[in-house]
Amino acid sequence: MSNCTSSCDTQDHESYGECMQSNMPMFMGVNPTKTGWDQDKVKKDERELKSYYSAIKQGVEPRSTRTKDIDAAIKLSDKAGKAFDGINLKYKE
């Protein structure tokens, strides 16, 4: 009796779990859900990085790549009229 699933191409795995692991498609940054493959986390990360790089190009240095830190740094920079340095918590001259 085979330990493999009926859809396994090789039918030579030592256990059912090993067979399932070898046949599981691996997509970087994609999470399996009940309805399919979810890329929300990947899209969120890409948006945050894009926003971070945009802030850096403007001379602003947010504390992190998280949206709340980026927005806060840009807001502080706009109010002061100077680029904010989130690492040293002061304005750049």
The reply to whether 21 and 45 lie within a common domain is no
Tell me if the pTM is above 0.85: no
- pLDDT classification of 29: cutoffs 50, 70, 90: low
Q: Tell me the torsion sign for CA atoms 72, 73, 78, 81.
A: positive
pLDDT digits (tens, 9 = 90+) for 68-87: 999 999 999 999 999 999 99
CB 3 within 8 Å of CB 23: no
The reply to whether 15 and 46 lie within a common domain is no
The reply to whether 83 and 49 lie within a common domain is yes
The reply to whether 18 and 54 lie within a common domain is no
| Amino acid letter for position 11 | Q
Q: Residue 46 to residues 24, 66, 67: CA-CA distances in angstroms?
A: 25, 11, 11
Domain region containing 67: 39-91
| Amino acid letter for position 62 | P
Nearest to 76 by CA among 88, 47, 49: 88
| Whether pLDDT at 55 is above 60 | yes
